[in-house]
Structure 1
Protein backbone atom coordinates (compact mmCIF):
# COMPACT_ATOMS: atom_id res chain seq x y z
CA UNK A 1 0.00 0.00 0.00
CA UNK A 2 1.03 3.59 -0.64
CA UNK A 3 0.67 6.37 1.89
CA UNK A 4 -1.76 9.25 1.38
CA UNK A 5 0.97 11.70 0.39
CA UNK A 6 2.18 9.42 -2.41
CA UNK A 7 -1.35 8.91 -3.71
CA UNK A 8 -1.91 12.68 -3.73
CA UNK A 9 1.33 13.13 -5.66
CA UNK A 10 0.13 10.66 -8.28
CA UNK A 11 -3.13 12.63 -8.62
CA UNK A 12 -0.99 15.74 -9.15
CA UNK A 13 0.96 13.85 -11.81
CA UNK A 14 -2.24 12.94 -13.70
CA UNK A 15 -3.25 16.59 -13.85
CA UNK A 16 0.27 17.45 -15.03
CA UNK A 17 -0.15 14.96 -17.90
CA UNK A 18 -3.01 17.08 -19.26
CA UNK A 19 -0.86 20.21 -19.03
CA UNK A 20 2.35 18.76 -20.46
CA UNK A 21 0.63 16.38 -22.94
CA UNK A 22 3.23 13.78 -21.94
CA UNK A 23 1.98 10.44 -20.55
CA UNK A 24 3.45 9.34 -17.24
CA UNK A 25 5.41 6.11 -16.71
CA UNK A 26 3.45 3.07 -15.58
CA UNK A 27 2.50 3.40 -11.95
CA UNK A 28 3.28 -0.26 -11.41
CA UNK A 29 6.86 0.36 -12.58
CA UNK A 30 7.37 3.55 -10.57
CA UNK A 31 5.68 2.32 -7.37
CA UNK A 32 6.31 -1.44 -6.92
CA UNK A 33 4.22 -1.51 -3.73
CA UNK A 34 1.08 -0.09 -5.33
CA UNK A 35 -2.10 -2.15 -4.90
CA UNK A 36 -5.58 -2.19 -6.40
CA UNK A 37 -6.97 -0.27 -3.42
CA UNK A 38 -4.38 2.45 -4.03
CA UNK A 39 -5.47 2.65 -7.67
CA UNK A 40 -9.12 3.18 -6.74
CA UNK A 41 -8.16 5.83 -4.17
CA UNK A 42 -6.06 7.62 -6.80
CA UNK A 43 -8.99 7.52 -9.22
CA UNK A 44 -11.33 8.83 -6.52
CA UNK A 45 -8.88 11.61 -5.70
CA UNK A 46 -8.69 12.69 -9.33
CA UNK A 47 -12.48 12.70 -9.73
CA UNK A 48 -12.93 14.54 -6.41
CA UNK A 49 -10.67 17.34 -7.63
CA UNK A 50 -12.64 17.57 -10.87
CA UNK A 51 -15.88 17.82 -8.90
CA UNK A 52 -14.39 20.45 -6.59
CA UNK A 53 -13.57 22.48 -9.71
CA UNK A 54 -17.19 22.31 -10.92
CA UNK A 55 -17.47 19.01 -12.78
CA UNK A 56 -20.37 16.63 -12.14
CA UNK A 57 -20.33 12.85 -12.12
CA UNK A 58 -22.72 11.80 -14.89
CA UNK A 59 -22.18 8.07 -14.83
CA UNK A 60 -19.77 5.16 -14.63
CA UNK A 61 -18.04 2.69 -16.90
CA UNK A 62 -17.36 -1.00 -16.44
CA UNK A 63 -14.11 -2.18 -17.97
CA UNK A 64 -12.34 -5.50 -18.45
CA UNK A 65 -15.61 -7.35 -18.94
CA UNK A 66 -14.20 -10.17 -21.08
CA UNK A 67 -12.08 -13.06 -19.82
CA UNK A 68 -9.26 -12.43 -22.34
CA UNK A 69 -8.94 -8.79 -21.20
CA UNK A 70 -9.01 -9.83 -17.54
CA UNK A 71 -6.26 -12.37 -18.14
CA UNK A 72 -4.24 -9.80 -20.10
CA UNK A 73 -4.55 -7.31 -17.23
CA UNK A 74 -3.85 -9.80 -14.47
CA UNK A 75 -7.26 -9.70 -12.80
CA UNK A 76 -10.25 -11.98 -12.26
CA UNK A 77 -13.00 -9.35 -12.23
CA UNK A 78 -13.97 -6.20 -14.12
CA UNK A 79 -12.97 -2.73 -13.00
CA UNK A 80 -14.73 0.64 -13.12
CA UNK A 81 -14.43 4.41 -13.17
CA UNK A 82 -16.70 7.37 -12.58
CA UNK A 83 -17.30 9.53 -15.66
CA UNK A 84 -17.71 13.30 -15.33
CA UNK A 85 -19.71 15.44 -17.71
CA UNK A 86 -16.84 16.71 -19.84
CA UNK A 87 -16.17 13.16 -21.08
CA UNK A 88 -19.55 13.04 -22.85
CA UNK A 89 -19.30 14.37 -26.42
CA UNK A 90 -22.40 15.06 -28.58
CA UNK A 91 -23.00 12.62 -31.42
CA UNK A 92 -21.81 13.67 -34.90
CA UNK A 93 -19.65 16.44 -33.42
CA UNK A 94 -16.07 16.15 -34.77
CA UNK A 95 -13.70 15.45 -31.89
CA UNK A 96 -10.22 17.04 -31.97
CA UNK A 97 -7.47 14.45 -31.71
CA UNK A 98 -5.55 16.95 -29.62
CA UNK A 99 -7.66 16.06 -26.58
CA UNK A 100 -6.35 12.47 -26.61
CA UNK A 101 -3.03 10.70 -26.15
CA UNK A 102 -3.40 7.25 -27.76
CA UNK A 103 -7.09 6.92 -28.65
CA UNK A 104 -8.96 3.78 -29.66
CA UNK A 105 -12.68 3.14 -30.08
CA UNK A 106 -15.07 0.52 -28.70
CA UNK A 107 -18.78 -0.10 -29.17
CA UNK A 108 -21.09 -0.93 -26.30
CA UNK A 109 -24.52 -0.47 -24.78
CA UNK A 110 -25.20 2.29 -22.24
CA UNK A 111 -27.86 2.01 -19.53
CA UNK A 112 -29.64 5.15 -18.29
CA UNK A 113 -31.05 4.79 -14.79
CA UNK A 114 -34.50 5.97 -13.71
CA UNK A 115 -34.22 4.96 -10.03
CA UNK A 116 -31.43 4.95 -7.41
CA UNK A 117 -29.61 1.65 -7.06
CA UNK A 118 -27.12 0.78 -4.34
CA UNK A 119 -25.30 -2.40 -3.38
CA UNK A 120 -24.73 -4.77 -1.79
CA UNK A 121 -27.25 -7.32 -2.89
CA UNK A 122 -28.22 -5.81 -6.24
CA UNK A 123 -29.47 -8.52 -8.62
CA UNK A 124 -30.05 -8.44 -12.39
CA UNK A 125 -33.78 -8.16 -11.65
CA UNK A 126 -33.10 -5.00 -9.60
CA UNK A 127 -31.15 -3.57 -12.54
CA UNK A 128 -33.98 -4.27 -14.97
CA UNK A 129 -36.49 -2.56 -12.68
CA UNK A 130 -34.24 0.49 -12.13
CA UNK A 131 -33.29 1.04 -15.80
CA UNK A 132 -35.09 3.70 -17.82
CA UNK A 133 -33.71 2.77 -21.24
CA UNK A 134 -30.54 1.75 -23.07
CA UNK A 135 -28.64 3.52 -25.84
CA UNK A 136 -26.00 2.62 -28.40
CA UNK A 137 -22.62 4.06 -27.47
CA UNK A 138 -19.07 4.60 -28.63
CA UNK A 139 -16.37 4.80 -26.00
CA UNK A 140 -13.04 6.39 -26.87
CA UNK A 141 -10.41 4.58 -24.84
CA UNK A 142 -7.34 6.67 -23.97
CA UNK A 143 -4.19 6.37 -21.91
CA UNK A 144 -2.65 8.94 -19.55
CA UNK A 145 0.00 6.35 -18.70
CA UNK A 146 2.47 4.93 -21.18
CA UNK A 147 1.34 1.92 -23.19
CA UNK A 148 4.38 -0.10 -22.16
CA UNK A 149 5.13 -3.73 -21.25
CA UNK A 150 3.85 -4.46 -17.76
CA UNK A 151 0.70 -2.35 -18.03
CA UNK A 152 -1.95 -4.00 -15.88
CA UNK A 153 -5.21 -3.55 -14.01
CA UNK A 154 -3.68 -1.18 -11.42
CA UNK A 155 -2.60 1.27 -14.12
CA UNK A 156 -6.02 0.85 -15.73
CA UNK A 157 -8.01 1.63 -12.58
CA UNK A 158 -5.93 4.64 -11.56
CA UNK A 159 -6.14 6.03 -15.10
CA UNK A 160 -9.96 6.29 -15.05
CA UNK A 161 -10.24 2.76 -16.47
CA UNK A 162 -8.73 4.27 -19.65
CA UNK A 163 -11.84 6.32 -20.42
CA UNK A 164 -11.15 9.14 -22.88
CA UNK A 165 -14.63 10.18 -24.09
CA UNK A 166 -18.14 8.84 -24.63
CA UNK A 167 -20.54 9.36 -27.55
CA UNK A 168 -24.15 8.30 -27.04
CA UNK A 169 -26.67 7.53 -29.75
CA UNK A 170 -30.16 8.98 -29.63
CA UNK A 171 -32.40 5.96 -30.22
CA UNK A 172 -33.48 4.66 -26.80
CA UNK A 173 -34.92 1.19 -26.26
CA UNK A 174 -36.49 -0.22 -23.13
CA UNK A 175 -35.22 -3.53 -21.85
CA UNK A 176 -38.63 -5.13 -22.44
CA UNK A 177 -38.36 -4.23 -26.15
CA UNK A 178 -35.16 -6.18 -26.83
CA UNK A 179 -33.22 -9.30 -25.90
CA UNK A 180 -30.18 -7.40 -24.75
CA UNK A 181 -27.97 -10.50 -24.59
CA UNK A 182 -28.48 -11.05 -28.32
CA UNK A 183 -27.98 -7.49 -29.54
CA UNK A 184 -25.49 -7.61 -32.40
CA UNK A 185 -23.42 -4.74 -33.67
CA UNK A 186 -20.78 -3.81 -36.19
CA UNK A 187 -18.20 -1.03 -36.19
CA UNK A 188 -17.41 0.74 -39.47
CA UNK A 189 -14.39 2.96 -40.01
CA UNK A 190 -14.56 5.24 -43.05
CA UNK A 191 -17.33 3.11 -44.53
CA UNK A 192 -15.61 -0.26 -44.14
CA UNK A 193 -16.76 -2.86 -41.63
CA UNK A 194 -13.90 -3.49 -39.22
CA UNK A 195 -15.38 -5.45 -36.31
CA UNK A 196 -18.60 -7.07 -35.18
CA UNK A 197 -19.84 -8.81 -32.07
CA UNK A 198 -22.70 -9.60 -29.71
CA UNK A 199 -23.60 -8.10 -26.33
CA UNK A 200 -23.41 -11.52 -24.66
CA UNK A 201 -19.61 -11.08 -24.75
CA UNK A 202 -20.05 -8.68 -21.81
CA UNK A 203 -20.14 -11.04 -18.79
CA UNK A 204 -22.78 -13.08 -20.62
CA UNK A 205 -25.28 -10.19 -20.36
CA UNK A 206 -24.74 -6.41 -19.98
CA UNK A 207 -27.35 -6.44 -17.20
CA UNK A 208 -24.90 -8.56 -15.19
CA UNK A 209 -22.23 -5.89 -15.68
CA UNK A 210 -24.52 -3.20 -14.28
CA UNK A 211 -25.41 -5.37 -11.26
CA UNK A 212 -21.72 -6.05 -10.62
CA UNK A 213 -20.95 -2.35 -10.74
CA UNK A 214 -23.81 -1.38 -8.42
CA UNK A 215 -22.53 -3.87 -5.86
CA UNK A 216 -18.91 -2.80 -6.30
CA UNK A 217 -19.81 0.87 -5.88
CA UNK A 218 -21.70 -0.08 -2.72
CA UNK A 219 -18.35 -1.09 -1.20
CA UNK A 220 -17.28 2.54 -1.63
CA UNK A 221 -20.53 3.98 -0.27
CA UNK A 222 -21.62 5.13 -3.73
CA UNK A 223 -24.84 4.43 -5.62
CA UNK A 224 -26.42 5.00 -9.01
CA UNK A 225 -28.67 8.03 -9.15
CA UNK A 226 -31.55 8.74 -11.57
CA UNK A 227 -30.14 9.88 -14.90
CA UNK A 228 -26.74 8.21 -14.44
CA UNK A 229 -25.37 6.66 -17.63
CA UNK A 230 -23.63 3.31 -17.21
CA UNK A 231 -21.27 2.03 -19.92
CA UNK A 232 -21.40 -1.74 -19.71
CA UNK A 233 -18.24 -2.73 -21.58
CA UNK A 234 -17.29 -3.38 -25.17
CA UNK A 235 -18.28 -6.52 -27.03
CA UNK A 236 -15.53 -6.03 -29.63
CA UNK A 237 -11.80 -5.43 -29.33
CA UNK A 238 -10.47 -1.88 -29.37
CA UNK A 239 -9.69 -0.24 -32.73
CA UNK A 240 -7.05 2.51 -33.10
CA UNK A 241 -8.13 5.72 -34.82
CA UNK A 242 -6.42 8.70 -36.43
CA UNK A 243 -7.40 12.20 -37.53
CA UNK A 244 -9.86 12.09 -40.43
CA UNK A 245 -11.53 8.84 -39.37
CA UNK A 246 -15.31 8.54 -39.19
CA UNK A 247 -16.69 5.82 -36.92
CA UNK A 248 -20.20 4.39 -37.25
CA UNK A 249 -21.48 1.70 -34.89
CA UNK A 250 -24.66 -0.04 -36.05
CA UNK A 251 -26.79 -2.16 -33.71
CA UNK A 252 -29.77 -4.39 -34.43
CA UNK A 253 -33.05 -4.79 -32.47
CA UNK A 254 -33.95 -1.18 -33.14
CA UNK A 255 -31.03 0.45 -31.33
CA UNK A 256 -29.88 2.02 -34.58
CA UNK A 257 -26.49 3.62 -34.95
CA UNK A 258 -24.16 6.11 -33.30
CA UNK A 259 -21.67 8.20 -35.29
CA UNK A 260 -18.56 10.20 -34.49
CA UNK A 261 -15.50 11.53 -36.31
CA UNK A 262 -12.03 12.78 -35.47
CA UNK A 263 -10.17 15.85 -36.71
Structure 2
Protein backbone atom coordinates (compact mmCIF):
# COMPACT_ATOMS: atom_id res chain seq x y z
CA UNK A 1 0.00 0.00 0.00
CA UNK A 2 1.99 2.91 -1.21
CA UNK A 3 1.60 6.29 0.36
CA UNK A 4 -0.17 8.82 -1.83
CA UNK A 5 -0.21 12.57 -2.05
CA UNK A 6 -2.99 14.87 -3.11
CA UNK A 7 -2.36 18.30 -4.54
CA UNK A 8 -4.21 21.00 -2.65
CA UNK A 9 -6.20 23.52 -4.69
CA UNK A 10 -5.73 27.24 -4.25
CA UNK A 11 -7.25 28.16 -0.94
CA UNK A 12 -8.02 30.93 1.48
CA UNK A 13 -7.55 30.93 5.23
CA UNK A 14 -10.77 30.24 7.11
CA UNK A 15 -11.51 30.84 10.78
CA UNK A 16 -13.20 27.53 11.53
CA UNK A 17 -11.49 25.06 13.88
CA UNK A 18 -11.66 21.32 14.42
CA UNK A 19 -10.47 18.47 12.23
CA UNK A 20 -11.80 15.30 10.71
CA UNK A 21 -10.53 12.47 8.52
CA UNK A 22 -11.71 11.88 4.98
CA UNK A 23 -10.72 9.06 2.66
CA UNK A 24 -9.81 9.96 -0.90
CA UNK A 25 -13.26 9.09 -2.24
CA UNK A 26 -14.95 11.28 0.36
CA UNK A 27 -12.54 14.10 -0.41
CA UNK A 28 -13.34 14.10 -4.10
CA UNK A 29 -17.08 13.91 -3.38
CA UNK A 30 -16.76 16.84 -1.02
CA UNK A 31 -14.87 18.93 -3.55
CA UNK A 32 -17.52 18.22 -6.16
CA UNK A 33 -20.20 19.27 -3.69
CA UNK A 34 -18.47 22.58 -3.03
CA UNK A 35 -18.32 23.99 -6.53
CA UNK A 36 -17.79 27.73 -6.24
CA UNK A 37 -16.58 27.52 -2.66
CA UNK A 38 -13.07 27.98 -1.35
CA UNK A 39 -11.74 25.83 1.47
CA UNK A 40 -8.42 25.58 3.27
CA UNK A 41 -7.06 22.05 3.40
CA UNK A 42 -4.01 20.35 4.83
CA UNK A 43 -2.68 17.09 3.48
CA UNK A 44 -1.24 14.69 6.04
CA UNK A 45 0.20 11.20 6.11
CA UNK A 46 -0.66 8.27 8.33
CA UNK A 47 2.68 6.90 9.53
CA UNK A 48 1.74 3.26 9.14
CA UNK A 49 -1.52 2.79 7.30
CA UNK A 50 -1.59 4.98 4.20
CA UNK A 51 -2.87 8.51 4.01
CA UNK A 52 -5.80 10.66 5.06
CA UNK A 53 -6.91 13.94 3.72
CA UNK A 54 -7.09 16.12 6.82
CA UNK A 55 -9.60 18.92 6.35
CA UNK A 56 -10.13 21.67 8.85
CA UNK A 57 -13.76 22.04 9.67
CA UNK A 58 -14.66 24.71 7.22
CA UNK A 59 -16.95 27.57 6.37
CA UNK A 60 -18.17 27.97 2.81
CA UNK A 61 -17.70 31.36 1.22
CA UNK A 62 -20.51 31.85 -1.25
CA UNK A 63 -19.34 34.13 -4.04
CA UNK A 64 -22.83 35.61 -4.30
CA UNK A 65 -22.89 36.86 -0.71
CA UNK A 66 -20.86 39.38 1.22
CA UNK A 67 -19.52 36.98 3.85
CA UNK A 68 -19.25 33.38 4.98
CA UNK A 69 -22.53 31.48 4.97
CA UNK A 70 -23.67 28.99 7.55
CA UNK A 71 -23.81 26.13 5.04
CA UNK A 72 -22.68 22.95 6.79
CA UNK A 73 -20.65 20.12 5.29
CA UNK A 74 -22.85 17.28 4.00
CA UNK A 75 -20.31 14.70 5.12
CA UNK A 76 -18.04 15.92 7.88
CA UNK A 77 -20.65 15.83 10.61
CA UNK A 78 -21.41 12.21 9.87
CA UNK A 79 -17.76 11.28 10.31
CA UNK A 80 -17.49 12.29 13.95
CA UNK A 81 -18.70 10.54 17.06
CA UNK A 82 -21.24 12.86 18.69
CA UNK A 83 -20.16 11.85 22.17
CA UNK A 84 -16.39 11.48 22.18
CA UNK A 85 -15.18 13.61 19.28
CA UNK A 86 -13.82 10.53 17.57
CA UNK A 87 -13.73 9.86 13.87
CA UNK A 88 -16.17 7.31 12.58
CA UNK A 89 -13.26 4.93 12.00
CA UNK A 90 -12.33 5.12 15.68
CA UNK A 91 -15.97 4.71 16.63
CA UNK A 92 -16.26 1.57 14.50
CA UNK A 93 -13.08 0.18 16.09
CA UNK A 94 -14.60 0.77 19.53
CA UNK A 95 -17.80 -1.00 18.45
CA UNK A 96 -15.87 -4.05 17.24
CA UNK A 97 -13.77 -4.17 20.40
CA UNK A 98 -16.96 -4.07 22.46
CA UNK A 99 -18.51 -6.78 20.28
CA UNK A 100 -15.44 -8.96 20.79
CA UNK A 101 -15.90 -8.57 24.54
CA UNK A 102 -19.68 -8.96 24.77
CA UNK A 103 -20.34 -11.19 21.73
CA UNK A 104 -23.13 -8.85 20.70
CA UNK A 105 -22.76 -8.24 16.94
CA UNK A 106 -23.01 -4.86 15.27
CA UNK A 107 -24.71 -3.77 12.03
CA UNK A 108 -22.63 -3.85 8.82
CA UNK A 109 -20.14 -1.00 8.76
CA UNK A 110 -20.34 -0.44 5.00
CA UNK A 111 -24.00 0.54 5.31
CA UNK A 112 -23.23 3.22 7.90
CA UNK A 113 -20.32 4.97 6.19
CA UNK A 114 -21.04 6.02 2.64
CA UNK A 115 -17.80 6.08 0.68
CA UNK A 116 -15.88 3.79 3.03
CA UNK A 117 -12.67 2.54 1.43
CA UNK A 118 -10.42 -0.48 1.93
CA UNK A 119 -7.77 1.64 3.63
CA UNK A 120 -10.41 2.81 6.11
CA UNK A 121 -11.20 -0.81 6.93
CA UNK A 122 -7.55 -1.63 7.58
CA UNK A 123 -7.27 1.48 9.77
CA UNK A 124 -10.16 0.17 11.87
CA UNK A 125 -8.43 -3.20 12.14
CA UNK A 126 -5.11 -1.65 13.10
CA UNK A 127 -6.71 0.47 15.81
CA UNK A 128 -7.97 -2.73 17.40
CA UNK A 129 -4.56 -4.40 17.07
CA UNK A 130 -2.85 -1.51 18.82
CA UNK A 131 -5.45 -1.56 21.59
CA UNK A 132 -4.89 -5.26 22.26
CA UNK A 133 -1.11 -4.87 22.22
CA UNK A 134 -1.39 -2.01 24.69
CA UNK A 135 -3.27 -4.39 26.99
CA UNK A 136 -0.32 -6.79 26.98
CA UNK A 137 -1.61 -9.45 24.59
CA UNK A 138 1.13 -11.29 22.68
CA UNK A 139 0.92 -11.34 18.90
CA UNK A 140 1.29 -14.98 17.80
CA UNK A 141 0.94 -14.58 14.07
CA UNK A 142 -1.09 -13.50 11.07
CA UNK A 143 -3.75 -15.00 8.88
CA UNK A 144 -4.51 -14.52 5.22
CA UNK A 145 -8.12 -14.86 4.10
CA UNK A 146 -10.10 -14.94 0.89
CA UNK A 147 -7.43 -16.98 -0.89
CA UNK A 148 -9.69 -19.62 -2.43
CA UNK A 149 -11.94 -19.04 -5.47
CA UNK A 150 -14.97 -20.15 -3.45
CA UNK A 151 -14.46 -17.51 -0.75
CA UNK A 152 -13.58 -14.77 -3.25
CA UNK A 153 -16.71 -15.47 -5.26
CA UNK A 154 -18.80 -15.43 -2.09
CA UNK A 155 -17.69 -11.86 -1.30
CA UNK A 156 -17.23 -10.66 -4.86
CA UNK A 157 -13.51 -9.90 -4.57
CA UNK A 158 -10.41 -10.96 -6.46
CA UNK A 159 -7.70 -10.45 -3.84
CA UNK A 160 -6.97 -11.73 -0.33
CA UNK A 161 -7.11 -9.92 2.98
CA UNK A 162 -5.26 -10.38 6.26
CA UNK A 163 -5.72 -10.25 10.01
CA UNK A 164 -3.92 -11.06 13.24
CA UNK A 165 -4.23 -13.39 16.21
CA UNK A 166 -2.80 -13.54 19.71
CA UNK A 167 -1.27 -16.35 21.74
CA UNK A 168 -4.41 -16.66 23.86
CA UNK A 169 -6.42 -17.41 20.70
CA UNK A 170 -4.36 -20.48 19.72
CA UNK A 171 -5.62 -24.00 20.57
CA UNK A 172 -4.02 -27.41 20.06
CA UNK A 173 -5.04 -30.85 18.82
CA UNK A 174 -8.13 -32.32 20.54
CA UNK A 175 -8.85 -29.03 22.26
CA UNK A 176 -12.31 -28.65 23.76
CA UNK A 177 -13.44 -25.19 22.78
CA UNK A 178 -16.60 -23.57 24.18
CA UNK A 179 -18.90 -22.60 21.32
CA UNK A 180 -20.29 -19.92 23.64
CA UNK A 181 -17.02 -18.03 23.16
CA UNK A 182 -18.10 -17.09 19.66
CA UNK A 183 -21.07 -15.44 17.98
CA UNK A 184 -21.55 -17.71 14.94
CA UNK A 185 -18.39 -19.79 14.43
CA UNK A 186 -17.30 -21.51 11.23
CA UNK A 187 -14.24 -23.66 10.52
CA UNK A 188 -11.71 -23.71 7.71
CA UNK A 189 -8.95 -26.32 7.16
CA UNK A 190 -5.55 -24.77 6.51
CA UNK A 191 -1.80 -25.17 6.66
CA UNK A 192 0.02 -23.50 9.52
CA UNK A 193 3.48 -22.18 8.64
CA UNK A 194 5.97 -21.60 11.44
CA UNK A 195 8.66 -19.26 10.17
CA UNK A 196 12.31 -20.04 10.79
CA UNK A 197 13.39 -16.72 9.31
CA UNK A 198 11.92 -13.26 9.30
CA UNK A 199 10.36 -11.94 6.09
CA UNK A 200 10.52 -8.24 5.34
CA UNK A 201 8.83 -6.94 2.21
CA UNK A 202 8.43 -5.55 -0.26
CA UNK A 203 10.06 -7.69 -2.97
CA UNK A 204 9.74 -11.00 -1.11
CA UNK A 205 9.71 -13.63 -3.85
CA UNK A 206 7.87 -16.94 -3.78
CA UNK A 207 11.20 -18.71 -3.40
CA UNK A 208 12.26 -16.47 -0.52
CA UNK A 209 8.96 -17.03 1.26
CA UNK A 210 9.19 -20.79 0.78
CA UNK A 211 12.71 -20.85 2.19
CA UNK A 212 11.52 -19.03 5.35
CA UNK A 213 9.08 -21.82 6.29
CA UNK A 214 10.52 -23.87 9.11
CA UNK A 215 7.65 -26.32 9.59
CA UNK A 216 4.20 -26.99 8.17
CA UNK A 217 1.44 -27.94 10.63
CA UNK A 218 -2.19 -28.97 10.21
CA UNK A 219 -4.40 -26.08 11.25
CA UNK A 220 -8.01 -25.03 11.55
CA UNK A 221 -9.10 -21.44 11.65
CA UNK A 222 -12.27 -20.71 13.56
CA UNK A 223 -13.74 -17.69 11.84
CA UNK A 224 -16.39 -15.59 13.52
CA UNK A 225 -18.08 -12.34 12.60
CA UNK A 226 -18.74 -9.42 14.86
CA UNK A 227 -20.99 -8.21 12.04
CA UNK A 228 -24.59 -9.32 12.59
CA UNK A 229 -25.79 -12.40 10.69
CA UNK A 230 -22.54 -12.73 8.73
CA UNK A 231 -23.83 -9.90 6.54
CA UNK A 232 -20.37 -8.99 5.31
CA UNK A 233 -18.57 -7.68 2.29
CA UNK A 234 -14.85 -7.06 1.97
CA UNK A 235 -14.85 -3.79 3.94
CA UNK A 236 -16.73 -5.35 6.85
CA UNK A 237 -14.54 -8.43 7.18
CA UNK A 238 -11.27 -6.49 6.85
CA UNK A 239 -12.34 -4.05 9.57
CA UNK A 240 -13.39 -7.05 11.69
CA UNK A 241 -9.87 -8.52 11.68
CA UNK A 242 -10.61 -10.65 8.61
CA UNK A 243 -13.32 -12.39 10.68
CA UNK A 244 -10.73 -14.18 12.81
CA UNK A 245 -12.11 -15.93 15.89
CA UNK A 246 -9.44 -18.41 16.99
CA UNK A 247 -6.78 -20.78 15.65
CA UNK A 248 -6.10 -24.47 16.23
CA UNK A 249 -2.77 -26.00 15.25
CA UNK A 250 -1.52 -29.59 15.47
CA UNK A 251 1.21 -30.67 17.85
CA UNK A 252 3.15 -32.56 15.16
CA UNK A 253 4.35 -31.06 11.86
CA UNK A 254 3.18 -32.58 8.61
CA UNK A 255 5.89 -34.61 6.89
CA UNK A 256 5.89 -32.52 3.74
CA UNK A 257 8.40 -30.38 1.87
CA UNK A 258 7.29 -26.79 1.31
CA UNK A 259 8.11 -27.37 -2.37
CA UNK A 260 5.28 -29.93 -2.58
CA UNK A 261 2.39 -28.10 -0.95
CA UNK A 262 0.44 -27.56 -4.17
CA UNK A 263 -0.36 -31.26 -4.45
CA UNK A 264 -1.30 -31.85 -0.80
CA UNK A 265 -4.97 -32.78 -0.35
CA UNK A 266 -7.02 -31.83 2.69
CA UNK A 267 -10.57 -32.74 3.72
CA UNK A 268 -12.83 -31.00 6.21
CA UNK A 269 -14.86 -33.40 8.34
CA UNK A 270 -17.65 -32.53 10.74
CA UNK A 271 -18.32 -35.29 13.28
CA UNK A 272 -16.30 -37.64 11.12
CA UNK A 273 -18.35 -36.99 7.98
CA UNK A 274 -16.61 -35.68 4.88
CA UNK A 275 -18.06 -32.27 4.04
CA UNK A 276 -15.49 -30.45 1.89
CA UNK A 277 -12.12 -31.14 0.28
CA UNK A 278 -9.44 -29.34 -1.69
CA UNK A 279 -5.75 -29.27 -2.54
CA UNK A 280 -2.96 -26.79 -2.02
CA UNK A 281 -3.58 -25.49 -5.53
CA UNK A 282 -6.92 -24.11 -4.28
CA UNK A 283 -5.03 -21.66 -2.05
CA UNK A 284 -4.07 -18.91 -4.52
CA UNK A 285 -2.55 -21.54 -6.82
CA UNK A 286 0.24 -22.19 -4.31
CA UNK A 287 -0.15 -21.95 -0.50
CA UNK A 288 3.15 -20.10 -0.29
CA UNK A 289 1.84 -17.29 -2.52
CA UNK A 290 -0.33 -15.82 0.28
CA UNK A 291 2.74 -15.81 2.56
CA UNK A 292 4.76 -13.81 0.03
CA UNK A 293 1.78 -11.50 -0.56
CA UNK A 294 1.39 -10.89 3.17
CA UNK A 295 5.10 -10.19 3.69
CA UNK A 296 5.09 -7.69 0.83
CA UNK A 297 1.83 -6.01 1.87
CA UNK A 298 2.96 -5.57 5.48
CA UNK A 299 6.44 -4.62 4.34
CA UNK A 300 5.04 -1.57 2.58
CA UNK A 301 3.83 -0.48 6.03
CA UNK A 302 7.20 -1.12 7.67
CA UNK A 303 5.99 -4.32 9.38
CA UNK A 304 7.91 -7.61 9.16
CA UNK A 305 6.84 -11.20 9.67
CA UNK A 306 9.06 -12.43 12.47
CA UNK A 307 10.81 -15.78 12.89
CA UNK A 308 8.74 -18.01 15.15
CA UNK A 309 5.41 -16.54 14.12
CA UNK A 310 2.60 -18.78 12.92
CA UNK A 311 1.11 -17.82 9.55
CA UNK A 312 -2.12 -19.27 8.17
CA UNK A 313 -2.19 -18.84 4.38
CA UNK A 314 -5.87 -19.48 3.76
CA UNK A 315 -8.45 -22.24 3.51
CA UNK A 316 -8.53 -25.27 1.22
CA UNK A 317 -12.32 -25.11 1.19
CA UNK A 318 -15.28 -22.91 1.96
CA UNK A 319 -16.05 -22.38 5.62
CA UNK A 320 -18.62 -24.52 7.41
CA UNK A 321 -20.63 -23.56 10.51
CA UNK A 322 -20.19 -25.56 13.72
CA UNK A 323 -22.32 -25.95 16.82
CA UNK A 324 -21.75 -27.03 20.41
CA UNK A 325 -21.35 -30.79 20.55
CA UNK A 326 -19.74 -31.06 17.12
CA UNK A 327 -16.14 -31.88 16.17
CA UNK A 328 -14.16 -30.59 13.21
CA UNK A 329 -11.22 -32.33 11.57
CA UNK A 330 -8.68 -31.15 9.02
CA UNK A 331 -7.59 -34.45 7.46
CA UNK A 332 -4.38 -34.48 5.44
CA UNK A 333 -4.51 -38.24 4.81
CA UNK A 334 -1.25 -40.08 5.47
CA UNK A 335 0.45 -36.80 6.41
CA UNK A 336 -1.62 -36.28 9.54
CA UNK A 337 -4.73 -34.57 10.86
CA UNK A 338 -6.06 -32.18 13.47
CA UNK A 339 -9.36 -32.46 15.38
CA UNK A 340 -11.03 -29.98 17.69
CA UNK A 341 -14.23 -30.32 19.70
CA UNK A 342 -16.84 -27.63 20.36
CA UNK A 343 -18.54 -27.84 23.75
TM-score bucket (shorter structure): over 0.9
C-alpha displacement of 1:66: 2.0
2:213 touches 2:258 (CA, 8 Å); kept in 1? no
SS at match of 2:163: strand
**2:269 maps to 1:171:** no
With normalisation by structure 2, the TM-score equals 0.73
Q: Provide structure 2 residue ranges, at least 5 long, that are not aligned to the other structure.
A: 1-22, 24-78, 81-85
Residue 57 of structure 2 corresponds to: none
Give a deviation string over 1:102-141, Cα, whole Å, max 9, x none. 1011101111101110111001110121111110101111
Q: Distance in 1 between matches of 2:258 and 2:212?
A: 15
Q: Which structure has greater helix proportion?
A: 1
Q: Distance in 2 between matches of 1:95 and 1:102?
A: 14
Residue 108 of structure 1 corresponds to: 190
- Aligned mate of 2:338, from 250, 258, 262: 258
1:79-98 to structure 2, matched below 5 A, reads 79-98=161-180
Residue 135 of structure 1 corresponds to: 217
SS at match of 1:179: helix
Q: Provide structure 1 residue ranges, at least 5 long, that are not aligned to the other structure.
A: none
RMSD over aligned CA atoms reads 1.7
Distance 1:175 1:246, change over 3 A: closer
Q: Distance in 2 between matches of 1:212 and 1:37?
A: 17
Q: Distance in 2 between matches of 1:127 and 1:218?
A: 13
Distance 1:231 1:104, change over 3 A: same
Please say which structure displays the higher CA radius of gyration.
Answer: 2
Residue 289 of structure 2 corresponds to: 208
Distance 1:203 1:12, change over 3 A: same
* Moved beyond 6 Å, runs of 4+: none
Q: Distance in 1 between matches of 2:104 and 2:167?
A: 23
**2:321 maps to 1:240:** yes
SS at match of 1:210: helix
Between the two proteins, the alignment pairs up a number of residues equal to: 261
Greater shift, 12-21 or 155-164, is seen at 12-21
With normalisation by structure 1, the TM-score equals 0.94
**2:130 maps to 1:48:** yes
C-alpha displacement of 1:253: 5.5
Give a deviation string over 1:134-169, Cα, whole Å, max 9, x none. 1010111100012365x2110010111011110001
Q: Distance in 2 between matches of 1:104 and 1:80?
A: 17
C-alpha displacement of 1:92: 1.2
- Aligned mate of 1:156, from 221, 224, 237: 237
C-alpha displacement of 1:210: 0.6
Greater shift, 205-214 or 88-97, is seen at 88-97
Distance 1:100 1:206, change over 3 A: same
**Structure with more contact order per residue of length (Cα contacts < 8 Å, sep ≥ 6):** 1
Residue 184 of structure 1 corresponds to: 265
